[in-house]
Amino acid sequence: MKKYGVNELRRMYLEFFESKEHLRLKSFSLIPHNDKSLLLINSGMAPMKPFFTGQEIPPKKRVTTCQKCIRTGDIENVGKTARHLTFFEMLGNFSFGDYFKTEAIHWSWEFLTEHVGMEPERLYPSIYCEDEEAFRIWTEEVGVPADHITRFYRDENGDCDNFWEHGAGPCGPCSEIYYDRGVKYGCGKPDCKVGCDCDRFMEVWNNVFTQFESDGNHHYTELTQKNIDTGMGLERLAVVVQDVDSVFDIDTMKAIRNKVCEIAGVTYMTDKKKDESIRLITDHIRSVTFMTSDGIIPSNEGRGYVLRRLLRRAARHGRLLGISGLFLAKLCETVIAESKDGYPELEEKRDYILKVLTLEEEKFNKTIDQGLMILSEMEEAATAAGSKTLSGEDAFRLYDTYGFPIDLTEEILEEKGFTVDMEGFKKAMEVQKETARNARAVTNYMGADATVYDEIDARVTSSFIGYDKSSASSKISVLTTDTELVKEVVAGQNVTIMRHRSMLRWVARLQTSVRLQRAMLYLPLPIPLS
């Protein structure tokens, strides 16, 4: 089997399904469209839900994509294992009421054996225990020996790994394909087989046959329109094809990993703790690069918080490796170089992405040093008192006074065997909110809630000159987001711009002398305070 690169495998897959009359679509944005059930796109089929449900008409009944995905449910394991990622690419071919099991199974086998070059004798399909149709296609049509097929059964709760179901709605059996990577990746047990937790038998393909409607209580009716949802992790496929130990050893990831080592001046696989930091940074820089490219801005809530958390975790682990100064933008350059083949928009938005990441890293660096010092003192005090728990009050003081993220506090302390009194933290947070509400009620005699604008120097003013001029230049005096005064703002943020002179006619209709001018910015580069 030839050791194809990640970019080659992506092209090969999409071109193969184009040859099977599929419409190739670009990856959808990581920001879900009209789907409030998801914070971020987390699977290849997620953007296709409107097509599966009939809410929207697909552009064609056969579609193929390579979809950008973000999952943070196992974020604590990223870096610690050889397989966990927050960002990954999912190859998919989809049928909306067109072809079904026969074609899906035949094409999966054809691509893996004839195009990628996997040895048929090392491939082991699995089926849902009751799916005799899939068993017949695999054995009688494709020619796979029956002893190479694994049946998966339901457990005592009625759940089964090989039956895709999420509550009420469309569902159906699955048929995966596992590749035997050989005994060198196995656990050594004599009964090692498909389904074992070791790395010998690795799943590379998953056909989902959506053929039933579930009422949510394991009662099923046959669907009139049956669908195919195929998913295959690109990074996992590359691990098998390139015959490497982990996703961090495939070509595109290895390039980023090596750049981390170069910047830090360390060697991979010489120190367990450093290796964890290297892998974490390698993963997180991919996530933040793609999220920023899709217009997500660091913030304290929602998907913006996910971005901020990933970026700050990467920045802190850079410090653990001994990196001084800013480094994330340098790594971002490598991500763009390795991924622009499949995602040319990364190159197009390069300057914007680098600027956003640099601004956020600078902002974090201003808080991290002081916060780490204070946290260290708190640890020493707790240890002296015979405790391995940081009080909720101390954790909140770090957060409220020094801007130190609570999740970062938890992570740092966990590494040292400490815990955080989260109940105490939440109580302190609520007390602070209540105090702030009461303070606004007492001090703001105009009867309005205090806002960021109350922090602006009262001497900042502007005057409207649009009655007798059609253009003019003026100095920007103040920039704010919804929550704070800032020095720079970036595309996509809701901001306020205060200038010496105003040309905004809608403001003039309210009053001829104004302090505030509101605007939604969508600009190619950040606006500096000047």
What pLDDT is recorded for position 432? 80
User: Is the pLDDT confidence value at 238 over 50?
Assistant: yes
Least confident of 135-144, 199-208, 304-313, 502-511: 502-511
Residue 105 falls inside a structural domain: yes
What DSSP assignment string belongs to 337-366?
A: HHHTTT-THHHHTHHHHHHHHHHHHHHHHH
What pLDDT is recorded for position 481? 77
Residue 1 falls inside a structural domain: no
The most confident of the ranges 217-226, 230-239, 515-524 is 230-239
Between 382 and 446, the more confident residue is: 382
Residue 375 falls inside a structural domain: no
What mean pLDDT is reported for the chain? 87
pLDDT digits (tens, 9 = 90+) for 255-288: 999 999 999 999 999 999 999 999 999 999 999 9
Between 279 and 169, the more confident residue is: 279
Under 8 Å between Cβ of 524 and 491: yes
Same domain, 265 and 354: yes
Cα of 288 vs its chain's centroid, Å: 8
Residue 374 falls inside a structural domain: no
Same domain, 44 and 125: yes
User: Is the pLDDT confidence value at 455 over 50?
Assistant: yes
pLDDT digits (tens, 9 = 90+) for 322-374: 999 999 999 999 999 999 999 999 999 999 999 999 999 999 998 888 888 89
What pLDDT is recorded for position 511? 31
User: Is the pLDDT confidence value at 247 over 70?
Assistant: yes
Radius of gyration of the chain, Cα coordinates, nearest whole angstrom: 27
What pLDDT is recorded for position 445? 32
Last residue of a domain, one of 450, 469, 488: 450
Same domain, 32 and 165: yes
Q: What is the widest separation between alpha-carbon atoms in the chain?
A: 89
Mean pLDDT, residues 238-249? 97
Work out the pLDDT band at 101, boundaries 50, 70, 90: very high
Mean pLDDT, residues 502-524? 37
pLDDT digits (tens, 9 = 90+) for 396-428: 988 887 778 888 899 899 989 999 999 999 999
Same domain, 472 and 355: no
What pLDDT is recorded for position 172? 94
Residue 119 falls inside a structural domain: yes
**What's the CA gap between 201 and 148, in Å, rounded?**
12
Same domain, 461 and 442: no
User: Is the pLDDT confidence value at 304 over 90?
Assistant: yes
pLDDT digits (tens, 9 = 90+) for 361-393: 999 998 888 888 899 999 999 999 999 999 999
Work out the pLDDT band at 520, boundaries 50, 70, 90: very low
Same domain, 271 and 305: yes
Residue 380 falls inside a structural domain: no
Least confident of 107-121, 235-249, 327-341, 486-500: 486-500
What pLDDT is recorded for position 293? 98
What pLDDT is recorded for position 513? 33
User: Is the pLDDT confidence value at 496 over 90?
Assistant: no
Residue 382 falls inside a structural domain: no
Least confident of 1-15, 281-295, 465-479: 465-479
Residue 371 falls inside a structural domain: no
Same domain, 458 and 443: no
Work out the pLDDT band at 149, boundaries 50, 70, 90: very high
Last residue of a domain, one of 433, 450, 467: 450
Residue 28 per-residue DSSP state: P
What DSSP assignment string belongs to 196-245?
A: -SSSSEEEEEEEEEEEEEE-SSS-EEEEEEEEEEEEEEHHHHHHHHHT-S
Share of the chain above pLDDT 90, in %: 66
What pLDDT is recorded for position 448? 42
User: Is the pLDDT confidence value at 297 over 80?
Assistant: yes
User: Is the pLDDT confidence value at 519 over 60?
Assistant: no
Least confident of 182-191, 311-320, 404-413, 448-457: 448-457
Same domain, 229 and 263: no
Same domain, 157 and 16: yes
Work out the pLDDT band at 498, boundaries 50, 70, 90: confident
Taking the alpha carbons of 334, 335, 339, 344 in that order, is the dihedral positive or negative?
negative
Same domain, 513 and 443: no
Phi, psi angles (nearest 5°) of residue 265: 70, 35
User: Is the pLDDT confidence value at 495 over 90?
Assistant: no
Structural domain for 524, as ranges: 452-528
What pLDDT is recorded for position 251? 98
Cα dist. 382→335, 386, 394, 418 in Å? 42, 6, 10, 10
Same domain, 185 and 222: yes
Under 8 Å between Cβ of 310 and 288: yes
What pLDDT is recorded for position 323? 95
User: Is the pLDDT confidence value at 472 over 70?
Assistant: yes
The CA-CA-CA angle for residues 97, 105, 185, to 5°, reads: 135
- How many structural domains are present in the chain? 4
Same domain, 492 and 473: yes
Last residue of a domain, one of 244, 274, 299: 244
Between 388 and 436, the more confident residue is: 388
What pLDDT is recorded for position 166? 80
